[in-house]
Chain A
Amino acid sequence: MSTLAQSIEGGNPALNISIFVAFVVVTLVVVFRASRNTKTASDYYAAGRAFSGPQNGIAISGDYLSAASFLGIAGAIAVYGYDGFLYSIGFLVAWLVALLLVAELLRNTGKFTMGDVLAFRMRQRPVRAAAATSTLAVSFFYLLAQMAGAGVLVSLLLGITGEAGQSVVIAVVGAIMIVYVLVGGMKGTTWVQIIKAALLIAGAFAMTVWVLGKYGFNLSDLLGSAVERAGEGGESLLNPGARYGESGLTKLDFLSLGVALVLGTAGLPHVLMRFYTVPTAKDARRSVVWAIALIGLFYLFTLVLGYGAAALVGADTIKAAPGGSNAAAPLLAQELGGPLLLGFIAAVAFATILAVVAGLTITASASFAHDVYANVIKKGTVDSKDTEVRVARITACVIGALAIVGGILAKDQNVAFLVALAFAVAASANLPTLLYSLFWKRFNTQGALWSIYGGLLVTIVLIVFSPAVSGGDDAMITSVDFHWFPLSNPGLVSIPASFFLGWLGTILSKEHLEDKHREMEVRSLTGAGSEKATAH
């Protein structure tokens, strides 16, 4: 067991790295080929709106199934049992909000960013600046989570434990990602997502069948074996409460997390931006349907994989491994298929981080270049689209560099916590404004600003003074305790607060935009005058 301290015992770092390098080479070739037709801003930000619904749906699932969902959820199920499963349900049900309320209407009213939808009927410059601020905030938290995950994976799978070594690998991951974004734009990034999603889902499917096969395709036997392996008190693996059942406060915290998860997805900027890569609203609908099917299937796989890891590897071995519960899926892969399957799963996990980071970077850079630079700083008078794209590319480099530095600094942080944070910010700052702006005719500029800035501020203040930052068991800062807000996840307070502020700001302002709303409603429901696909 002594080698566990370095990497997974029996794993072959050279093999892991070579499979990963193969993925990088293949995707780089695809990205370079895809970039040949990238000329205009619409090509760069929205892939010429030429992806089909199914293609975009696969890419969405690639964007969404981050390393945190793959390694994190499988690990949480393996260690905490049922409570890990609750995450995946929130992550999935959330897609209905996107399907029913957001995807199609957004596709019909905007061009590239969330700011476009708000700017449709409100005063452009303030709402664009606000939308860009919250987009950058969500992207930043999400980026940190992914980069921190990369650090964990490095030590886990490549046997690189030194501080310097891990930092170098994070920097390499960041650099490759910047190349994808600079060269490929949205089209290249989308293809990377598609390839990655296919590998991830195929890998998880193969492992699921393998695990179930060991138990004669009887789920009940698998669960029984997991309970047996856990020994004394193992029964609790099957029941809720192992993770969040401790006290009234942890239960409330779980409720808060559940609300943030279900309302966060439809406010994630990198998910919203994907709806612009298809030609029509109907294709946006199709892409969500594909995404729901693939994401749902994937979470069902993780249920089997989590309990499979608990049964075949054992929670104690998982907790002792580098990376802790994140190691469950890789350890299970090794148990089933030896070093080769471990290498494959390791490479897929890396590819996942790479792809998600690329998707976030292009979203954040588009929001800065399109909303802030072109429309706020230059007041919409950018002489050519080339300038805007150039600014987007420069921004992508800056964000990439920040992600590398942040990733190196944050590499010891809890990945799932950072992701939950990003969801809380998205649900509080973005979703209320989006919904109001699509469905409420009285909504106006002041309402949007209060909701975005207010939601953002409340969320961040509550996070800073939460037990997750100081005072909690695995808090970021252990030396001092300055928390006064009892919950780790602020969603339960910040989301209603943001809805309320949006309403209050609106009715306290005299601005009436009902005419614009009529136009927006006609356009959003019918698709009249919406941005069309570019033909090449």
Chain B
Amino acid sequence: MSTTEPSTHPPGPRWAEVHASAEFQELRRRLRVFVFPMTLLFLGWYLTYVLLADYAHGFMSTKVVGNINLGLLLGLLQFVSTFAITALYVRYANRRLDPIADRIRIEIEGEEAK
């Protein structure tokens, strides 16, 4: 790698061919099928929370236990959901994405080395 231009790619592997392969299409599908809905989910949940805190003061001020109100609980739930989605994604990526990605990469880089 002596050039500074990442676009002078090695011509070696046939990217279009790899891209069309069933294996790669499966990897692409698995990634998108997880990250897109999940992004919509957490953004929607976050926006719901922001709108509630912004416009539903009475509701958010409802006391639940002692001095802890619904607003605080929902806020803490944002932390919980963030941690949970992180854990889910890592598990999914380790099991469903990495094995295929590793296989394809080794195939391509093996070709390059020839």
Contact = CB atoms under 8 A, between A and B. Distances in A.
Contacts of A518: 15-16, 19
Nearest to A291: B86
Contact of A239 (B3, B61, B93): B61
A375 B8 CA distance: 13
Contacts of A86: 50, 53, 75
Contact of B79 (A82, A92, A262, A527): A92
B50 A224 contact: no
B96 interface: no
Nearest to B35: A100
Interface string B75-114: 1001100110110011001000010011011001100100
A425 interface: no
A262 B105 contact: no
B46 A97 contact: no
Contacts of B90: 285, 289
Interface SS majority for chain B: helix
Interface string B9-24: 1100101101100001
A199 interface: no
Contacts of B53: 82-83, 86, 240
Interface in B41-95: 42-43, 46-47, 49-51, 53-55, 57, 60-61, 65-69, 71-72, 75, 78-79, 82-83, 85-86, 89-90, 93
Contact of A238 (B5, B16, B72, B102): B72
Contacts of A515: 15-16
Contact of A119 (B6, B16, B49): B6
Interface stretch (A18-26, A59-67, A292-300, A339-347): A292-300
B75 A85 contact: yes
A134 to B, nearest CB: 19
A475 interface: no
A111 B6 contact: yes
A120 interface: yes
B89 to A, nearest CB: 6
B68 A119 contact: no
A380 interface: yes
Interface extent on B, as a size class?
35 or more
Interface string A72-106: 00000000001101100110110111011100000
B86 A96 contact: yes
Contact of A227 (B1, B42, B67, B83): B67
A285 B60 CA distance: 35
A519 interface: yes
Interface in A203-247: 218-221, 223-224, 227, 238-241, 244-245
Interface string A473-497: 0000000000000000000000000
Contact of A82 (B71, B102, B105): B71
Contacts of A522: 15, 18-19, 24, 104, 108
| Residue among B6, B15, B35, B53 with the highest chain A CB neighbour number at 10 A | B6
B52 to A, nearest CB: 8
A370 B67 contact: no
A55 interface: no
A194 B34 CA distance: 32
Contacts of B65: 220
A353 to B, nearest CB: 26
A116 B6 contact: yes
A224 B66 contact: yes
B82 A96 contact: yes
A244 B54 contact: yes
Given A240-B60, A525-B28, A300 B13 contact: no
A299 to B, nearest CB: 7
Interface string A516-530: 001101110111110
Interface stretch (A147-155, A251-259, A325-333): A251-259
Contact of B5 (A110, A119, A296, A300): A119
A224 B67 contact: yes
B104 A526 contact: yes
Nearest to A100: B35
Given A89-B49, A101-B35, A526-B108, A254 B54 contact: yes
Contacts of B16: 515, 518-519
Contacts of B28: 521, 525
Nearest to B64: A220
B5 A528 contact: no
A74 to B, nearest CB: 16
Contact of A526 (B50, B57, B101): B101
Contacts of A90: 46, 50
Which 6 interchain pairs have the tightest Cβ spacing?
A: A220-B66, A519-B15, A223-B67, A518-B19, A239-B61, A528-B108
Interface of A: 82-83, 85-86, 89-90, 92-93, 95-97, 99-101, 109-111, 116, 119-121, 124, 218-221, 223-224, 227, 238-241, 244-245, 251, 254-255, 258-259, 262, 282, 285, 288-289, 292-293, 296, 299-300, 370, 374-375, 380, 382, 385, 388, 515, 518-519, 521-523, 525-529, 531
Interface of B: 1, 3-7, 9-10, 13, 15-16, 18-19, 24, 27-28, 31, 34-35, 38-39, 42-43, 46-47, 49-51, 53-55, 57, 60-61, 65-69, 71-72, 75, 78-79, 82-83, 85-86, 89-90, 93, 98, 101-102, 104-105, 108-109, 112
26 contacts: A83-B53, A92-B82, A97-B39, A99-B89, A119-B7, A124-B5, A223-B68, A223-B72, A224-B66, A238-B67, A240-B57, A245-B54, A254-B50, A292-B82, A296-B79, A300-B79, A374-B4, A375-B5, A380-B3, A380-B4, A519-B16, A525-B101, A526-B101, A527-B105, A528-B109, A529-B10
